[in-house]
Amino acid sequence: MAPGQSQRHGGQHRPPAPPPGPTPRAKAATATAPTLPIPALALTLAAALTVALATAAAPQDSPDSVQPGPEGFDMRIIAEGLEGPWELTLGPDDHLWVTERTAGRITRIDPSTGAATTLATLPEVEAPGGQDGLLGMALDPAMLQGAGRDHVYAAYTYIDPALPPDPDVQDPDSPYLHLHTKIVRLTWSPEAGALEDPQDIITGLPASNDHNSGRLKFGPDGMLYLTIGDQGNNQLGNWCIPIEAQRLPTKAELEAKDYAAYVGKSLRIAPDGTIPVDNPELDGVKSHVFTYGHRNMQGIAFGPDGTLYASEQGPKTDDEINILKKGGNYGWPHVAGYADNNAYVYARWAESGDTPCADLEFSDLEIPSGVPFDRETDWDGQDSMIPPVATLFTVPNDWNFADPACGGIDFICWPTVAASSIEHYPATGGVPGWGNSLIVTTLKRGSLYRIGLEADGQSVLPPFERYFQSENRFRDTALSPDGLTIYVATDPGGLAESLDGGTTQQMQNPGAILAFTWREGGAQPQDGQMVTGSTDPAPGQSEPLAAEEQIATGQFLPATFTEEQVNSGKASYNSACASCHGNTLQNGTMGPPLAGQNFEAKWKSQTVADLYAYSHDKMPPSRPASLPPETYAAITAYILRVNGANRGDQPLLTDPDAQANQFVIPPEKQDGAAD
What residues are labeled active site? 211
Give the other-Cβ count within 10 Å of 73's Cβ: 25
Q: What number of CA atoms fall less than 13 Å from residue 298's CA on the CB side?
A: 27
Distance, CA of 329 to CA of 269 (rounded, Å): 18
Q: Are strands 485-490 and 513-518 parallel, antiparallel or unpaired?
A: antiparallel
Classify residue 527 as exposed, middle or buried by CB count within 10 Å of its CB (0-12, 13-18, 19+). exposed
Amino acid at 173: D
Cis ω before 481 (30° cut-off from 0): no
| 3-class SS of residue 373 | strand
Q: Among 617, 589, 613, which Cα is nearest to 603's?
A: 613
Distance, CA of 609 to CA of 602 (rounded, Å): 15
Distance, CA of 285 to CA of 327 (rounded, Å): 11
Contact 462, 45 (CB under 8 A): yes
Contact 606, 543 (CB under 8 A): no
Cis ω before 492 (30° cut-off from 0): no
Where are any strands of DSSP class E within 298-367? 299-302, 308-312, 319-324, 345-347, 366-367
Distance, CA of 332 to CA of 344 (rounded, Å): 11
The per-residue DSSP string of 104-118 comes to TEEEEE-TTT--EEE
DSSP character at residue 13? B
Amino acid at 376: E
Distance, CA of 13 to CA of 11 (rounded, Å): 6
Residue 556 makes CB contacts below 8 A (sequence gap 6+) with 547, 550, 661, 663, 667, 670
Distance, CA of 486 to CA of 477 (rounded, Å): 7
The per-residue DSSP string of 509-523 comes to STT-EEEEEEPTT--
Distance, CA of 438 to CA of 658 (rounded, Å): 56
Amino acid at 670: Q
The β-bridge partners of 392 are 319
Give the other-Cβ count within 10 Å of 381's Cβ: 13
Distance, CA of 215 to CA of 134 (rounded, Å): 10
Q: Among 128, 125, 185, which Cα is nearest to 157's?
A: 125
Residue 279 makes CB contacts below 8 A (sequence gap 6+) with 268, 286, 287, 288, 289, 290, 326
